[in-house]
A = this chain, B = another copy of it.
């Protein structure tokens, strides 16, 4: 094999296929050439063809569905809104109206809930400001849509606050767990959202059925009661191919992206 350019052959194979995909010549769901076809067309070994395909897999552009072949991936993100029921007069958001309305419409939402008591990790302890030996209660939720895992949500509260209360009930709480906390004297008045972007851990990849090349957002919501007292830390893990995170901002706040 002669190196016609500086770029490696497997890179050029990937470039070619990627170009076909972004140009629409290979639309979502299309089947790609097989490894054998590619290696023949480029007069190279199958290993190199595989390497080229793997580039696109790691970019999240294609998936392999063995033994049927490689296919162009579909993306159908759902709306994720840390600010629920935002009441400011909404600007003209036709694009989203549609998709928001779709949420939970024809798709069947479900969730599994378990509640456990654990020693908090450093991340949780820092944000919850609990003492060193103090334990926390955790509501672990895995949400599914049409049977497909959708996201993971783990809420952490100091154990002393919720021990023996409805918060620890491992099932739905119709009026919402924040309402329960409010009734317990911990009404939430403020929150901090931190959103990090990273590749999933193998454990997350398993729980969320993530293919290679699928990054996740880790959304850590820390909620505070009056006086800046932290009440709850919720960690949400959102597969990048299934979510768009939406925030709305109104006049009383300042404008970024100047």
Q: Which residues of A contact B (CB under 8 A)?
A: 15, 18, 58-60, 77, 81-93, 95-96, 126-127, 129, 153, 155, 176-179, 188-199, 202, 212-213, 215-217, 219, 221-224, 228, 230, 234, 236, 238, 240-241, 243-258
Contacts and interface: CB of A to CB of B under 8 A. Distances in A.
A248 B190 contact: yes
Tell me the number of copies of this protein: 2
Contacts of A247: 82, 192-193, 195, 247
A129 B96 CA distance: 14
Contacts of A81: 256
A215 B91 CA distance: 30
A165 B120 CA distance: 55
Contact of A195 (B59, B216, B245): B245
Given A127-B95, A248-B190, A83 B253 contact: yes
B197 A83 contact: no
Contact of A248 (B58, B153, B179, B191): B191
A197 B249 CA distance: 20
15 contacts: A15-B202, A58-B58, A77-B196, A82-B257, A84-B258, A86-B253, A92-B228, A93-B192, A192-B248, A194-B245, A194-B246, A195-B245, A196-B243, A219-B257, A221-B257
